[in-house]
């Protein structure tokens, strides 16, 4: 079974590598992803793999060119949960961005079942 830290790294690598079709497969069918800082109700809470797939499909349509820098994964006392810190740097829609990220990810049976994704200013 894949460890939570490895699943987290696969997620970050998938975004950087534009693996939009493969990314939803990292999530359980009933996974919940919350973006607490989002003001867009379409992405503030994603419920289920179908909504997560649609989210990544929207990302595929955007001109996203990211690299992940300063990646640190923190183990927690809960064996299912890791906290990842990093910064996406690159361009989004033709604009340069530096987006600090913190993800709190719960992985069960090798799949993300819950994630809280905190994205900083672009």
List the domain range (segments joined by +) for residue 97: 4-119
For the chain, state the CA radius of gyration. 13
Residue 26 has pLDDT above 80, yes or no: yes
If one counts the domains in the chain, the total is: 1
The DSSP string of 20-80 is TTTGGGGEEEEEEEE-TT---HHHHEEEHHHHHHHHHHHHHHS-EEEEEEEEEEEE-SSTT
pLDDT exceeding 70 applies to what percent of the chain? 98
Judge if pTM exceeds 0.85: yes
Contact 52, 26 (CB under 8 A): no
Residue 122 has pLDDT above 70, yes or no: no
Q: Is 119 helix (H, G, I), strand (E, B) or coil?
A: strand
CA quadruple 2, 4, 9, 10: dihedral sign: positive
Q: pLDDT tens across 29-75, in order?
A: 999 999 999 988 888 999 999 999 999 999 888 878 889 999 999 99
Q: Find, among 62, 60, 30, 35, the residue nearest to 47 by Cα.
A: 30
CATH of the domain at 15: 3.10.450.50
């Amino acid at each position: 079974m894949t460890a939570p830290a490895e699943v987290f790294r696969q997620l970050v690598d998938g975004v950087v590598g534009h693996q939009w079709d493969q990314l939803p497969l990292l999530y359980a069918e009933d996974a919940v992803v919350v973006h607490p800082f989002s003001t867009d109700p379409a992405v503030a809470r994603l419920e289920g793999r179908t909504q997560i797939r649609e989210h990544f499909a929207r990302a595929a349509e955007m001109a996203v060119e990211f690299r992940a820098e300063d990646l640190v994964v923190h183990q927690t006392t809960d064996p299912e949960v890791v906290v990842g810190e990093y910064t996406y740097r690159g361009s989004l829609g033709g604009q340069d961005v530096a987006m600090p990220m913190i993800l709190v990810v719960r992985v069960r049976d090798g799949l993300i079942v819950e994630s809280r994704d905190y994205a900083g200013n672009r």
